[in-house]
Amino acid sequence: MTEKSFGQSFTQISVEELAQRLSSGESGIQLVDVREPQEIAIASIEGFVNLPLSEFAQWSEQIPTLLNPHSETLVLCHHGMRSAQMCQWLVAQGFTNVKNIAGGIDAYSLLVDPSVPKY
């Protein structure tokens, strides 16, 4: 496993593991992309819900109805920093299975799918 723990709160998965999980057609995984809409317009991965961190005030109170706190939740950003912040916040909200995608969409483009544009 390529997971490593961040102070027991959430783990991290590699982009390769993300690709495996996506191609397996597994159901029940919640995919969250915290990048800005203009970043999504440049590069995105199908199946992710966009919850931009800059718009936190607009969506934060709806999190319990938008996402299931007990389902596995994978969080993506450009390089992995904003998604790590989101993971910490989700855990603080009572989410029990949160994973940060290490390296973000940049690493995904580099290591998994070069057709995803880099920016």
Verify whether residue 87 is a known catalytic residue: no
Strand ranges of the sheet holding 10-13, from the earlier edge strand across to the other edge: 5-6, 10-13, 98-101, 73-76, 30-33, 49-50
Out of 77, 86, 90, 107, which one is annotated catalytic?
77
Contacts of 87 (CB under 8 A, 6+ apart): 6, 9, 10, 75, 98, 99, 100
Catalytic residues: 77
